[in-house]
Amino acid sequence: MPSGKSEKLMDLAKRRGFIWPSFEIYGGVGGFYDFGPLGSLLKNKIIQKWREHYVLEEGFFEIDSPSVMPEEVLKASGHVDHFIDAMVECQKCGTALRVADVAREATGRDIEGMPKGEIEQFIERHKVRCPDCGGVLGKIFDFNAMFRTTIGPGSRKVGYLRPETAQGIFVDFNRLQRYARGRLPFGVVQIGRGYRNEISPRQGIIRLREFTMAEAEVFFDPEDPHHPKFKDAANEVLRLWLAGDQEKGKERLTEVTAEQAVKKKLVCNELMAYYLALTKRFLLDLGIPEGAIRFREQTKGQRAHYSAETWDAEVSTERFGWVEVAGLAYRTDYDLSGHAKFSGKDLTMFSADKKRKVLCHVVEPSYGIDRPLYCVLEHAYAEEKKRTYMRLKKSLAPIDVGVFPLLNRDGMPEKAREVCEKLKREGLMAVHDNSGSIGRRYARADEVGTPYCVTVDHKTLEDDTVTIRDRDTMTQIRVLVGGLHGVLRSLLRDEIKFGEAGAQVGAKRLPEEFRRDTP
């Protein structure tokens, strides 16, 4: 049985249907994970929350473009020439390794972006060896991390699986700017799969070869980098790990408001500060504690080829330390200029406000979905004495409610199934379970984070009331079956407090307000 918290969590995640390694019956392949029934539900809820922030609240447009891209698109974007990892092979066992990863594992130091010569000196000085066999590492060489393919049978037309969803937005810019009717800034999002042919993925779900991305491209006039709702985020406190402090070896966080970050020129512009604040709010909305969130400024050598400034949103985890869950990059006009040059098309737009043509700059909040999903699970995992449960936010729980008969006799199973089917028809993700004792059923529901359990008992057959059990406190109330959906819906939305939603279990008589058909 796993001993540490993270090991117990991964055991639970595999056993209960959240995540497990892909292709298990064939021995598995590194860098690929499946999302099981509960993992898929949780992942979709995280994506929906992201849409609520960026599509509903920000009013961004959403598109869906192909995962396979012709070579010329990624040549123009710089990925063919610059999407490179430093790689090394063990001279003893031949294992291919990503240099930055093996150095970090051995020394705890981040050497991302360091020149090859300095990396070789670092490896030698710190005696970094192969983590698999202890062998000496060979010469460092470049490896393009994109998956290469051809388009069409027998075709010589080269294509790649997209390393990011962003390029589908940039090549559609002319159609999208017309849809925006000359308004700046405007944003476009895309949610879908990205692909990175990782050299040696050694961090489970944290480093995948195929992953789900949620990216937003915010187009704006470089002479006017303001956000119309900045005042709403101006006082949001950001914990920044500045590049200068990293280069000096200081793990010191600078706490400032979004407004102060702009005024002190710690962040390049108002738009970037706004989306740092929005990223923090999104992570808080997932249930990540504020103290476990920071923004790390990438050093010049770490930044992608297209970026003038990049901030990584990081979450503290027990298993992997600080994990990057989103990157916010100031891409300037790199992409639009590159595509304009390679395609011969004009990718400027006419600003309705400024009455002139603008070559837009871009701020890009780019999220992985798989990494924050792991972070959500780890921070939700709780143990109390012999009890294990997932303290997931109710809006993220894969299952809204479990419906159980107290006993498997006297018509209780049939009534429980009837109640469950009614709740499903009314839009709740409800699950019926009559296997084992009622205590075991509660324990199974707790393990997967189900916030409420409804139990049909002898009293249900007398007065058509049921109990609702709260996951976190294990307290129970009674409500009338006719008003059950309304009560559960209000509880799930935090519109009412649990203790005020029904009669406390043990009361001799239901108060009149809970005997009505509606709450």
pLDDT per position as a tens digit, 103-146: 888 888 888 778 888 888 899 899 999 988 999 998 888 888 89
Q: Please tell me whether residue 157 adopts helix, strand or coil conformation.
A: coil
Question: What are the residues facing 85 on neighbouring strands?
Answer: 143
Nearest CA among 461, 405, 470 for reference residue 436:
405
Query: Residue ranges of the domains in the chain?
Result: 5-65+162-378, 84-144, 399-514
Q: List Cβ neighbours of 484 (8 Å cut-off, separation of 6 or more).
A: 419, 423, 454, 466, 468
Q: What is the separation of C-alpha 467 from the centre of its chain, rounded to a whole number of angstroms? A: 35
Question: Whole-angstrom Cα distance, residue 34 to residue 92?
Answer: 33
Give the dihedral sign, CA 417/421/426/428.
positive
Omega before 185 within 30 of 0, i.e. cis: yes
Question: Whole-angstrom Cα distance, residue 519 to residue 503?
Answer: 11
Q: Are 21 and 28 in contact (CB under 8 A)?
A: yes
Q: What is the separation of C-alpha 101 from the centre of its chain, rounded to a whole number of angstroms? A: 22
Locate 163 and state its tokens: 């390393």
Q: Are 181 and 352 in contact (CB under 8 A)?
A: yes
Q: Please tell me whether residue 20 adopts helix, strand or coil conformation.
A: strand
Question: Whole-angstrom Cα distance, residue 92 to residue 180?
Answer: 58
Q: What is the separation of C-alpha 480 from the centre of its chain, rounded to a whole number of angstroms? A: 38
* CATH code of the region 84-144: 3.30.40.230
206-209 contacts, C-beta under 8 A, 24 or more apart: 206/320, 206/323, 206/371, 206/374, 207/31, 207/101, 208/31, 208/32, 208/33, 208/370, 209/30, 209/31, 209/32
Residue 223 DSSP class: T
Overall residue count recorded for the chain in this entry: 519
Q: What is the pTM of this model?
A: 0.91
In which region does residue 181 sit, left (phi positive, over 0), alpha (psi from -120 to 50) or beta (all else)? left
Nearest CA among 494, 477, 188 for reference residue 360:
188
Q: Are 52 and 59 in contact (CB under 8 A)?
A: no
Q: How many CA atoms lie within 13 A of 243 on its CB side?
A: 15
Mean of the per-residue pLDDT values of the chain: 93
Per-residue pLDDT of the chain (519 residues; tens, 9 = 90+): 455 788 999 999 999 999 999 999 999 999 999 999 999 999 999 999 999 999 999 999 999 999 999 999 999 999 998 888 888 889 989 888 888 888 888 888 888 778 888 888 899 899 999 988 999 998 888 888 899 999 998 778 999 999 999 999 999 999 999 999 999 999 999 999 999 998 878 778 888 999 999 999 999 999 999 999 999 999 999 999 999 999 998 999 999 999 999 999 999 999 999 999 999 999 999 999 999 999 999 999 889 999 999 999 999 999 999 999 999 999 999 999 999 999 999 999 999 989 999 999 999 999 999 999 999 999 999 999 889 999 999 999 999 999 999 999 999 999 999 999 999 999 999 999 999 999 999 999 999 999 999 999 999 999 999 999 999 999 999 999 999 999 999 999 999 999 999 887 754 444 444 433 333
Question: Whole-angstrom Cα distance, residue 380 to residue 373?
Answer: 11
CATH architecture entry for 399-514: 3-Layer(aba) Sandwich (3.40)
Q: For the domain 5-65+162-378, what is the CATH superfamily, name and number?
A: Bira Bifunctional Protein; Domain 2 (3.30.930.10)
Give the dihedral sign, CA 30/36/40/46.
negative
Locate 419 and state its tokens: 């109640």
Q: What is the pLDDT of residues 155-168, one digit of tens each?
A: 789 999 999 999 99
Per residue in 355-386, is it b (16+ CB within 10 Å) or e — as a string? eeebebbbbbbbbbbbbbbbbbbbbbbeeeee
Nearest CA among 481, 474, 440 for reference residue 459:
481
Q: What is the pLDDT of residues 422-445, one digit of tens each?
A: 999 999 999 999 999 999 999 999
Q: Are 381 and 319 in contact (CB under 8 A)?
A: no
